[in-house]
Chain A
Amino acid sequence: MSGPLKKGKLPKELTSQMEATAAASQYLRQAVKNMRDFIPLEKQRRIYKDLEKMFGVDPLNLIDEKMYMRKGFNQSAAIMKNKELGRLIALDRFIPMYDPSVSEPIGHQQLFPYKISGTDEIVSGNSLHCFNNVAMQQLFDDVRRTTILNLDVPHKVIQVRASKEVTPETIDHFLKTLQHTIAGGTVSLDQFADINPELTRDAYCKIITGNDELRELIDNRFSIDINAGFHKSRAEKLKHAIGDTIHLVVRAPTILVRALDNSVAFKWAGIQSTLAFIVAYRLTKDSNLADISYATQYANTIALGEPTWQSLGGHYNSIAGIPFGYIADMCQGDSQLPLRPFMEITNEDPKLSREYLKKSIGCVGVIAPILTNFWDGYQLSGGANILDNVVIDTFTGGIFDDFIDIMNDMMNKYFSRIVKIGMNLMPTRWYNLRWPVENMVNIVMETMEKYPSAMETLKLGIQKMYIIGLVAGIMASLLSGSSTAGLWAIDYAISLLVKEGWCRTGTTGYEIINQLGLPYSCSLRIEEGGLPELRGMNNFHQIHSIGSAVPRIAVLYAAALARGDAWVSSPLIKVVFNDPHLSFDFKDPISAIIKGTKGEFKPKGES
């Protein structure tokens, strides 16, 4: 056999249609052919450089010359190491164990490593699995062991009912006692055994108050310093919003949420505080105790997450119960940047606005997917290892970052011109926001058509829809400062724009939530949605869709960024996670994740 490949030709009746329509606009095809002239421009893009490093070939190449010539699982050192481990364990216990040979044939497809966007790190897919990566687990634990209590109500009860004086000294003493009880120490004679402090090394509590004078009166080891944690402009707003109230942040020991449940952290915070009150203020166990106990544990207590529907089995502090606005508030990337509306920044300096986007959207793009993965991917579905490979798309391969680059460029060159006429936001109307979103989504679609390697990286439909939904939502929210507009954009992009353009969406029924999402986007009825900031994964129409929570969290953050707000839904949550003593770094999550991939991350809970 020799010579070129033979290919079949179609009958004239089929191919004539294109010629007929092309004749109607005879110049169109020539214009589109010019697209090829702009290929050199692609080489300057981040996505090109990153994918070239990941694949080792030109990412624009449609033909994979090594296809069917690869060595299956042997390509991945991580899998081969696992295989050997599995074999040794099987020999040890006499029951077969991990063995990749039983899996579906991977058909010699390329098992590529992932390049972390914005860094030079190239890591294996396995190390980004949330069970292998300790940093991801630490993030999960740090969130669900947190509870916020209000101290004003118990203080009032102690003053009025028990006639005890509350002074900065007594508060100091109470907090010191509480550090002991939270760590599992006994304070009452009824108790008889302490927990080994090594096990509860990471349990502590701190207070938050917006009143600087009050904070100075209390031992500064026991308080979160808003002035140090945030830029001055943000700190002022946060302090004003929190006011004179004293809130107590309790971090239960990690071993508690690990061994028992996240709801125990909520109860632990309440009961240990009550015990500390009894001991610190020398209260008698009379009828006042019921009042103090109620005031401490329930009166004004904020659990991060409310219980879910019973059938889903999520109790207090479970990820599904946490409102999306709270998850957005946990991200601290841009805490040290001055607070300004995004349009002003981007009009002034595109590099600075890119920095803002990197630290805000980039931070949400790491924290939100990993957190929601624990619910969607494990607690809800039982764990299918599908989501782990979906959620990392926001910070690997440079794909998402590249779209953020373009978005920033567009904002700088075009949309920020409205700053000149004294506007910071576009009007929140469907007609004003639809076409910027359409054009941004078209850029994403065109890019994926141009880059076969990007299509291979985002090999599942849900991965593509995940990225498209994120980009569309962020664009609309950044322009309008409205989170509802972001929801419109996400749903419009997935359920209509891409579905009609490509005739494809995600997996079976993936876009159902988006079809429902459009009519529900403005609804305040609780079973249909509610305020975008207070929605969560406990909404019936949002819960079952893979990765759908992340775009909905990102639009909230983007809207706050556009408005120039210091927080998304709660100033308290914003401050609570701006704590240098937390084990996971909420300010620079990607560095922590990279440390986790290398095994350098040291969790504090398990010493």
Chain B
Amino acid sequence: MEDKNKKYVNEPWWKKEFKDGWWKEVSWIHPQDTEPSGVSLFIDYMLDKAIITPDAVKIASWIPHRLILLEIVHPLKGTERLSFMISPTSVTPGIPDVTPDVIVTYDYYDLAKFLIGREKDFTMSFWKGHSRIYGNLTALIDLADILEVALGKKIDEAKEARIKTWPVGYP
């Protein structure tokens, strides 16, 4: 039996960092009353931020064809799915028709933290064990490069951060 008097000690990390109404302070999120869904958050970011950054478009053009299924897991609301294609770039809600190169399971607040610029490293949540992937790690790093360059990282830095055997454009 569960002890009802027991206090919830381990408060999740995102409750401290994301106060109610956090999305209203971010310029590129379309104004709405409730917390944006993971898909709309990502699509808003891609349209208003990534696509208008010339460097992000440039690095995306070097990357070979990728099909990425992004599973955004909200701790309270459940999972949303989003297919993201690179070369040619497209973002579609839902699952793709063919097997994706990589299935990325990402925590909603980890994603939000990155997209609004509080965390500079897109892949950090994978290395520390919050998120997980099935499939090609190179595809994930390609995605990270595009998103990070859109956030202001330089292309040379992105090139340097990759391992020798997987340069930019490596399938």
Q: In which size bucket is the chain A interface?
A: 35 or more
Cβ-defined contact, A417 with B165, below 8 A = no
Residues of B contacting A189 with CB < 8 Å? Answer: none
B167 within 8 A of A: yes
Residues of B contacting A413 with CB < 8 Å? Answer: 161-163
Cβ-defined contact, B127 with A426, below 8 A = yes
Cβ-defined contact, B64 with A406, below 8 A = no
Which residues of A (9-38) have their CB < 8 Å from a CB of B?
A: 21, 24-25, 27-28, 30-32, 34-35, 37-38
Cβ-defined contact, B97 with A24, below 8 A = yes
B117 within 8 A of A: no
A410 in contact with B163 given A25-B67, A34-B169 (CB within 8 Å): yes
**Distance from A472 Cβ to chain B, minimum over Cβ atoms (Å):** 15
Residues of B contacting A427 with CB < 8 Å? Answer: 128-129
Cβ-defined contact, B165 with A31, below 8 A = no
A31 in contact with B162 given A421-B128, A435-B133 (CB within 8 Å): no
Residues of A contacting B87 with CB < 8 Å? Answer: 27, 31
Residues of A contacting B65 with CB < 8 Å? Answer: 25, 27-28, 30-31
A406 contacts which of B88, B98, B162, B165 (Cβ < 8 Å)?
B165
A431 in contact with B170 given A25-B65, A413-B162, A421-B124 (CB within 8 Å): no
B132 contacts which of A21, A406, A418, A435 (Cβ < 8 Å)?
A435
* B 151-171 to A, binary, CB cutoff 8 A, 1 in contact else 0: 000000000011111010111
CA distance A89 to B27 in the complex (A): 91
Which residues of B (124-143) have their CB < 8 Å from a CB of A?
A: 124, 127-129, 132-137, 141
Residue of B whose beta carbon sits closest to that of A42: B165
Residues of A contacting B170 with CB < 8 Å? Answer: 38
CA distance A32 to B65 in the complex (A): 9
**Distance from A33 Cβ to chain B, minimum over Cβ atoms (Å):** 9
A25 contacts which of B98, B134, B167 (Cβ < 8 Å)?
B98
Residues of B contacting A432 with CB < 8 Å? Answer: 129, 132
A24 in contact with B167 given A30-B65, A418-B127, A435-B132 (CB within 8 Å): no
Cβ-defined contact, A31 with B171, below 8 A = yes
Residues of A contacting B133 with CB < 8 Å? Answer: 435
Residues of A contacting B97 with CB < 8 Å? Answer: 24
* A 132-165 to B, binary, CB cutoff 8 A, 1 in contact else 0: 0000000000000000000000000000000000
Residue of B whose beta carbon sits closest to that of A439: B137
B44 within 8 A of A: no
Cβ-defined contact, B128 with A34, below 8 A = no
B127 contacts which of A25, A28, A417 (Cβ < 8 Å)?
A417
Q: In which size bucket is the chain B interface?
A: 20 to 34
A409 in contact with B124 given A427-B129, A432-B129, A435-B137 (CB within 8 Å): no
A414 in contact with B127 given A32-B171, A41-B165, A406-B165 (CB within 8 Å): yes
CA distance A24 to B135 in the complex (A): 19
B55 within 8 A of A: no
B164 contacts which of A28, A34, A44 (Cβ < 8 Å)?
A44
Residues of A contacting B141 with CB < 8 Å? Answer: 414
**Distance from A289 Cβ to chain B, minimum over Cβ atoms (Å):** 60
Cβ-defined contact, B129 with A429, below 8 A = yes
Cβ-defined contact, A443 with B165, below 8 A = yes
A409 in contact with B164 given A435-B133, A435-B137 (CB within 8 Å): yes
CA distance A36 to B124 in the complex (A): 31
Residue of B whose beta carbon sits closest to that of A402: B165
A57 within 8 A of B: no
**Distance from A169 Cβ to chain B, minimum over Cβ atoms (Å):** 58
CA distance A421 to B127 in the complex (A): 11
Cβ-defined contact, B98 with A24, below 8 A = yes
A41 in contact with B128 given A24-B97, A27-B65 (CB within 8 Å): no
B80 within 8 A of A: no
Name the residue among A27, A410, A415, A421 with the largest chain B CB count within 10 angstroms: A27
Name the residue among B87, B129, B136, B137 with the largest chain A CB count within 10 angstroms: B129
**Distance from B89 Cβ to chain A, minimum over Cβ atoms (Å):** 12
Residues of A contacting B165 with CB < 8 Å? Answer: 41, 45, 406, 409, 443
CA distance A456 to B137 in the complex (A): 29
Cβ-defined contact, A417 with B124, below 8 A = yes
* B 84-95 to A, binary, CB cutoff 8 A, 1 in contact else 0: 000110000000
CA distance A32 to B171 in the complex (A): 6
Residues of B contacting A35 with CB < 8 Å? Answer: 171
**Distance from B121 Cβ to chain A, minimum over Cβ atoms (Å):** 6
Residue of A whose beta carbon sits closest to that of B162: A413
A386 within 8 A of B: no
Residues of A contacting B163 with CB < 8 Å? Answer: 406, 409-410, 413-414
Name the residue among B123, B128, B136 with the largest chain A CB count within 10 angstroms: B128
Residues of B contacting A44 with CB < 8 Å? Answer: 164
A534 within 8 A of B: no
CA distance A421 to B88 in the complex (A): 35
Cβ-defined contact, B124 with A34, below 8 A = no
Residues of A contacting B127 with CB < 8 Å? Answer: 414-415, 417-418, 426
Cβ-defined contact, A423 with B128, below 8 A = yes
Residues of B contacting A431 with CB < 8 Å? Answer: 132
**Distance from B171 Cβ to chain A, minimum over Cβ atoms (Å):** 5
Instruction: State the 7 A-B residue pairs at the shortest beta-carbon distance, nearest first.
Output: A27-B65, A31-B64, A427-B129, A432-B129, A31-B65, A439-B137, A409-B163
19 A–B contacts from the bound complex (CB under 8 Å): A24-B97, A27-B88, A30-B65, A31-B66, A34-B64, A37-B169, A38-B167, A41-B164, A41-B167, A417-B124, A417-B127, A418-B127, A426-B128, A427-B128, A431-B132, A432-B129, A435-B137, A436-B137, A443-B165
B residues contacting A by CB (< 8 A) are: 64-67, 87-88, 97-98, 121, 123-124, 127-129, 132-137, 141, 161-165, 167, 169-171
